[in-house]
Amino acid sequence: MATMTKQQTKQVFGKAEEAAVEPAVESAAEVSNRAADPLDEFRAQAEVAYMAYLEAQRKVAAAYKKRGQEEENAYKEIEQQANNVCEQALEQAMRVREKAEQEAEQAYKKAIEKSTEVYRESVREALRLRKEIIEQAWKASRAASEQIWEIFQGDKG
């Protein structure tokens, strides 16, 4: 709970002292009774002072309660601000994550396209090499066959 400042305490107790010092309005009967018993006057002053003390105590309690409410309101406001900051940070983090995912997805698609292109180029090269090797093998086989045929024809002739 919050504490009162010295100035606030002096103000509260100063008002209580003023209330205790203020003379009470008395009727003629009270004045004659007072003359009869001087202790009644002191008792009346003490009662006024006590009532002022009780009033001051109520005001102090009200001030403490008001200060406590102000502190609670300040806490709630700070808590709300913290919640707002946190929510904004979470939203920003989500946007950053989504952007990173999109960039990663685009990079993945480009990598797939590149790997597909490399695959196709490798297949084209393998097919070209196969065709070239087969053609060379065919030419070599034809040349060998012609040579064998020439040798066979040469032996007959």
pLDDT above 70 covers what percent of the chain?
75
CA separation (Å) from 3 to 12, 19, 75, 84?
14, 24, 16, 30
Is the pLDDT at 95 greater than 50, yes or no?
yes
Interatomic CA distance for residues 141 and 149, integer angstroms: 12
- State the Cα angle at 53 between 47 and 56, rounded to 5°: 145
Is the pLDDT at 100 greater than 90, yes or no?
yes
Interatomic CA distance for residues 101 and 144, integer angstroms: 63
Residue 106: half-sphere exposure toward Cβ, Cα within 13 Å: 6
Q: What is the pLDDT of residue 154?
A: 79
Q: What is the pLDDT of residue 152?
A: 82
| Structure-block tokens of residue 1 | 């709970």
On whether the CB atoms of residues 15 and 56 are closer than 8 A, the answer is yes
Q: What is the pLDDT of residue 137?
A: 95
What average pLDDT does range 39-64 have in this prediction? 94
Q: What is the pLDDT of residue 94?
A: 97
Interatomic CA distance for residues 125 and 12, integer angstroms: 100
pLDDT above 90 covers what percent of the chain?
66
Q: What is the pLDDT of residues 8-39, one digit of tens each?
A: 656 655 655 555 444 444 555 555 555 557 88
Confidence of residue 2 (pLDDT cuts 50, 70, 90): very low
| Structure-block tokens of residue 98 | 């989504």
Helix and strand element counts for the chain (H, E): 3, 0
